[in-house]
Amino acid sequence: MGLRMHCGIDYGTSNSSVGVAQNGVVTLLPLEGESVYLPSAVYRQRPDHLDEEDDARMTLRQQLGDARDLLFGRAAIQAHTEGPTDGLYVKSPKVFLGSDLSRDQLEFFTVIISRMLERLMQQARAASGMPLQQAVIGRPIRYHGVYGERGDEQALTIMREAAQAAGLQDVIFMYEPLAAALDYENGLVNDEVLLVVDVGGGTTDCSVVRVGPHASASADRSADLLSYAGTRIGGTDLDIHIGWHQIMPHFGKDGELHHKAFDAISVNSIPSQHAFYNRFEMPVHGEPDEARRRLYKVWRERLTHSLVRSAEQAKIRLTDAADTHINVDFVAPELQLGMNRDQMQQAITQATEKIRKVIEEARAGAGVRIDKTYLTGGSAVSPVIQQAIRNVMGDDMPLVTGNMHGGVASGLALYASRWFSR
């Protein structure tokens, strides 16, 4: 089989994966049991001698401690679900890398990403039996946040430091939608021009890419990337929008707790989460109304991520069903919330409008005839998202899908096998 020292790494907002390729055949490596996907979640149990008040006095970096006793993936999610107030929980750290971070926050996320990449590579090396010291790492066109190009460079600096900490000696970055196109290209017999729409957890990226036998012969594919555009809107934002419109009206939205409810559901914003958990006022005299009692329980038991996860699970169920329920019985057993696709579409209208704009920007920037639209990314499976794309490209444009979750890692692995074998 030969010694392969290179791999492709899709460090994702929702899940991460690692692939290796030989002779055009990609293998995604098991990272958690038999699963080739590791959920992007980290948990650290609070030491026994500390309590919540101690945490409140510490910086984020101090709460993290030596960062050697972390739980990752499903183990982290389970630990947080069972004891949300018992430790430090970070979901989708990639979302924060392009944000305006303080020095404490920057150090915190650098350590978190480093430990996650270390874990990924430890599992990948064990599964492959190879040292895997060279990697092509996927990156969005625009990292999530409002920090612009400075935020993108900050994110890439964090990723480079993390890669070095994980024992990767030679690293290059590739746009994630371009990597997805390379996965689709593998095995094509004719050349095509592809619009790739990658709806990931933290961003939506669109690229127009030339693919096919002639293009694949080149190790450097920069000339085949005809245009690209991206927005800092992804699956997590869709979940938050759904939660805001479908859940939070029962937790104070449109009332005196409106701003508090907004901060609660905005789990991808450090300032919002800090503002929500800073303090919560209950009436000294009289009984609080139901919305305040419910939101207070969310505050006391640190359930903001659980609310967003309920919205996400409802979104996923609507992939195959016309209507579903939203589970909030962990906060309010008396609440029975339903949602259908029309309500989901209304809830995410602002987000889909931004997605529409980047599709149009990428299409206009290419200046060539596009043969097909290729969808990838976990949220792209949603019929609501697919309809939003058809509204731009037209029903006559062929819409094709591949490996929605593993396509980027597969494309990165294919490129790594070509790039590092030159």
**10 Å Cβ neighbour count for 355?**
23
334 within 8 A of 325, measured Cβ to Cβ: no
10 within 8 A of 376, measured Cβ to Cβ: no
The pTM score is 0.84
Average pLDDT rounded to a whole number, residues 370-394: 90
90 by DSSP, 3-state: which? Answer: strand
Give the phi and the psi of residue 310 in degrees, each rounded to 5. -65, -40
Q: Does the structure show a pLDDT above 50 at 39?
A: yes
Average pLDDT rounded to a whole number, residues 373-381: 88
273 by DSSP, 3-state: which? Answer: helix
Give the phi and the psi of residue 255 in degrees, each rounded to 5. -125, -160
- Which tokens belong to 61? 């970096």
Using 50, 70 and 90 to split pLDDT, how confident is the model at 217?
Answer: confident
292 within 8 A of 282, measured Cβ to Cβ: yes
**10 Å Cβ neighbour count for 96?**
26
Q: pLDDT tens, 49-61? A: 777 776 767 778 8
Q: Does the structure show a pLDDT above 90 at 352?
A: yes
Average pLDDT rounded to a whole number, residues 330-335: 93
**10 Å Cβ neighbour count for 103?**
9
Q: What mean pLDDT, rounded, does the chain reach?
A: 91
Looking at domain 6-189+403-417, its CATH architecture is 2-Layer Sandwich (3.30)
Q: Identify the weakest region by mean pLDDT among 195-209, 212-226, 234-248, 376-390.
A: 212-226
384 within 8 A of 416, measured Cβ to Cβ: no
Which pLDDT does position 2 carry in this prediction? 46
Using 50, 70 and 90 to split pLDDT, how confident is the model at 46?
Answer: confident
- Which tokens belong to 139? 């990156």
Which pLDDT does position 149 carry in this prediction? 87
Q: pLDDT tens, 264-312? A: 999 999 899 999 998 898 887 878 999 999 999 999 999 999 999 999 9
Using 50, 70 and 90 to split pLDDT, how confident is the model at 349?
Answer: very high
Q: Does the structure show a pLDDT above 50 at 1?
A: no
Question: What is the Cα–Cα distance from 68 to 206, expressed in whole angstroms?
Answer: 37
Domain boundaries defined on the chain: 6-189+403-417
Q: Tokens 């969005």 belong to which residue?
A: 140
Which pLDDT does position 3 carry in this prediction? 54
Q: pLDDT tens, 132-178? A: 999 999 998 888 766 778 989 999 999 999 999 999 999 999 998 89
Which pLDDT does position 54 carry in this prediction? 65
Which pLDDT does position 23 carry in this prediction? 84
How many residues appear in the chain? Answer: 422
**10 Å Cβ neighbour count for 398?**
11
Average pLDDT rounded to a whole number, residues 330-355: 94
Q: Does the structure show a pLDDT above 90 at 73?
A: yes
Which pLDDT does position 346 carry in this prediction? 96
Q: pLDDT tens, 77-110? A: 999 999 888 888 999 899 889 888 899 999 999 9
Percentage, residues of the chain above pLDDT 70: 97
Percentage, residues of the chain above pLDDT 90: 68
Q: Where are the beta strands (DSSP E) in 142-233?
A: 170-175, 192-199, 204-211, 225-231
Containing 153, the helix (H) or strand (E) segment is: helix 148-165
